[in-house]
Amino acid sequence: MLADSPGRAGEEAAEPPQRTHAWMIATQDDLAVAVFVADGDSGSQTAGPLLEKFLHDAS
């Protein structure tokens, strides 16, 4: 489902200690969504599944 949605994923590491925050943004029709997960692993592994479920439930 996400393969058809324009979007972007990423991670941000803060110092110290090294913590990764995962994020992903996408659009579907006239809806724009951003997901941010503090202490997440990566955008595609942590935020992606949450975003995919949200977009699926919203359609």
Percentage of the chain exceeding pLDDT 90: 36
Backbone angles phi, psi at 27, to 5 degrees: -125, 150
Tokens of 48: 């992606």
Residue 14's pLDDT is 59
Q: What residue ranges do the domains of the chain occupy?
A: 2-58
pTM assigned to the model: 0.67
Taking 80 as the threshold, does the pLDDT of residue 54 lie above it?
Answer: yes
Q: Find tokens 């489902």 and name the residue.
A: 1
Assess whether pLDDT exceeds 90 at residue 34: yes
